[in-house]
Amino acid sequence: MDSNRRQGGIQQLLAAEQEAQQIVNAARNAKTARLKQAKEEAEKEAAEFRAQLEAEFQKKLAESSGDSGANVKRLEAETEAKIQRLNNESERISADVVQMLLRHVTKVKN
């Protein structure tokens, strides 16, 4: 009877060990699944954040390019005004320049 009892005890220990192994495997599987889920959630959040930053960047880029259009118009106006001033100045002094050139060209030196 003692040997039956020992056999029964051993059988109980083996059954308990198998049950413990199943519990550990289930915990490992659950941990792996949770890690995978956490990774997917993190990737999703990162993608959303990246999309948000990209949208903000595109918005700022659009705003700055709109400003550059205004800058281009302002620079064109300034350039046109400078050209007009130079044309007016050249018209004002062109007669004097022609006279000076004629004086130097027609003057004979020994």
pLDDT digit string (tens) for 34-65? 999 999 999 999 999 999 999 999 888 777 76
Mean pLDDT of all residues in 80-92: 94
Quick one: pLDDT at residue 66?
62
Task: Report pLDDT digits (tens) over 20-38.
Answer: 999 999 999 999 999 999 9
Task: Tell me the one-letter amino acid at 110.
Answer: N
Residue 91 or residue 110, greater confidence: 91
Measured distance CA(43)–CA(49) in Å, rounded: 10
Q: Compute the mean pLDDT over every residue in the chain, rounded to the nearest whole number.
A: 88
Residue 14 is predicted with a pLDDT of 92
Band (pLDDT 50/70/90 cuts) for residue 1 is low
Q: What helix, strand, coil percent values describe the chain, rounded to 5?
A: 95, 0, 5
User: Computed from CA positions of residues 74, 79, 85, 88, in that sequence, does the dihedral angle turn out positive or negative?
Assistant: negative
